[in-house]
Amino acid sequence: MKTRSLAGRVALATTLALTVTATAAACGSADGPAASGGPEKVTVWIMKDSVTDAFLDRFRTDFEARNKNIDLDIQIQEWDGIGEKVTAALASKDAPDVIEVGNTQVAQYAASGGVRDLSDKVAELNGADWLPGLAEPGKVDGRQYGIPWYAANRVVIYHKDHFAKAGVTPPGSQAEWLAVTEKLDTGTTQGIYLPGQNWYALSGFVWEEGGDLAVRDGAGWKGALDTPEARAGMDFYRRLQALGKGPKDSDEAKPPQADVFAKGDVAQIIAVPGGAKIVEEANPALKGKLGFFPIPGKTAGKPGAVFTGGSDLIVPEASTHPDAAYQVVKALAGETWQTDMARTMSYVPNRTSLARVIQDDEGTAAMAAGAAQGRATPNSPNWAAVEATNPVKQYMTAVLTGADPARAARAASESITKTLGS
């Protein structure tokens, strides 16, 4: 996630094929112990840009020194096409032993029956301390298939000079956020640049109201954007979005919101903290002028609910070294390497108790504060199909351009229900 935006990664991670195709080439080495009694060769798939090469080198050296009977074969995978590749690997007899997957992918992979149930390891891995937004998507029908690895979520990045000029400080509640943003919205300065289809931000507002995008309905799922709670979340989005000039019919990538913010006449954007570096690259004059605060919630002093993106670790059923694979997962998910990764990559660790290790970085600290209220998309194996057409975006644009909110919410919910039941 250092070179690919969170929105881009989440889009890739949640629009993957849902059918199993066992036509892929060999998925990775699964060599057993050598005839001479040599070490097991354990294959680990890590996604490109998730962590640095230096981090992986440190981990491999330390792990192999502590586990003389295991050799790690860490293979870097591209995000493009990874869904089909993982699905094929899970259906094969030649799977890697550990795979990094997007946290919202776990349900669809688990539905294939090719992912090992690690429920009996949760206590040993301090699962009670895991971030909800990572732990919940990894748990399907009461079984823990995905082990949380790292998280990232959106915060508010603000222009300190505009805040000082308006005589305001970072808000601590939604009501205060609206009031502050209204003061910042002067005509020459946008109070906030919020495009009309940032559905990740909307999801947080909906959850903060007690609503959801979709809910369980017996053995199936149904869309829930037409509930009073979800509609209240959309209404807050509408009021906030009106305090700037964000387009009503596109998301934060069209145009890239970092480029818009870099022009200097925008007071706030909603983005992952790393977005500030992109802004500063586009306009070096803004270096040192950008600050961060968690997305505010309804209750003063308590961050609002946010969408948590990130990765989990899974062990395929076809792994020929499941015990050694678990030792790799245990190490990567443990305090030592969680701390190293958080400081190296500015990620939120998988445990709430480890938030202290990133408190010296303003952006990451704001992200960690929000992560405690993190959530993930509905844990249906068909959710990826919803995002393929994304009626949530269409619903948002409809409301922002004057459509009847109740009718638009009902139509979006019906579309979600139909797709989740397909």
**What does the DSSP assignment read for 287-341?**
TT-EEEEPPB-SSTTSBPPEEEEEEEEE-BTT-S-HHHHHHHHHHHTSHHHHHHH
Give the C-alpha separation, 152 to 17, whole Å. 24
Strand pairing class (155-159; 290-293): antiparallel
The yes/no answer on whether domain 155-306+379-420 falls in CATH 3.40.190.10 is yes
Main-chain dihedrals φ then ψ at residue 193, nearest 5 degrees: -100, 105
Helix (H) or strand (E) holding 82: helix 82-90
Q: What is the per-residue pLDDT for 13?
A: 38
Task: Say how many C-beta atoms besides its own lie within 10 A of residue 113's C-beta.
Answer: 10
Considering the domain 6-152+309-375, what is its CATH architecture? 3-Layer(aba) Sandwich (3.40)
Q: Is 6-152+309-375's fold the same as 155-306+379-420's?
A: yes
Helix (H) or strand (E) holding 395: helix 391-400
Nearest to 371 by CA among 150, 137, 205: 150
Burial of 261 (0-12, 13-18, 19+ CB in 10 A): buried
Q: Could you identify the residue written with the tokens 């992912």?
A: 115
Give the up-direction half-sphere exposure of residue 341: CA atoms within 13 A in the CB hemisphere. 28
Q: Where are the domains of the chain?
A: 6-152+309-375, 155-306+379-420
Pull the structure tokens for residue 40.
Answer: 């097991």
Pull the structure tokens for residue 94.
Answer: 């030649």
Q: What is the per-residue pLDDT for 384?
A: 83
The alpha carbons of the chain give a radius of gyration, in whole angstroms, of 22
Angle, alpha carbons 272-14-225 (nearest 5°): 85
3-state secondary structure of 250: coil
Residues 276 and 268: beta-carbon distance below 8 Å: no
User: How confident is the prediction along the chain (422 residues), in pLDDT tens digits per residue?
Assistant: 333 334 344 333 333 333 333 333 334 433 444 444 678 999 999 999 899 999 999 999 999 999 999 999 999 999 888 989 999 999 999 999 999 999 888 998 998 899 999 999 999 999 999 988 889 999 998 999 999 999 889 999 999 999 999 999 999 999 999 999 999 999 999 999 999 999 999 999 999 999 999 999 998 999 999 999 999 999 999 999 999 999 999 999 899 999 999 999 999 999 999 889 889 999 999 999 999 999 999 999 999 999 998 999 999 999 999 999 999 999 999 999 999 999 888 888 999 999 888 888 899 999 999 998 999 999 998 998 898 899 999 999 999 999 999 999 999 999 999 999 98
Residues 384 and 14: beta-carbon distance below 8 Å: yes
Nearest to 293 by CA among 303, 285, 308: 303
Q: What is the per-residue pLDDT for 37?
A: 65
Nearest to 109 by CA among 81, 146, 136: 146
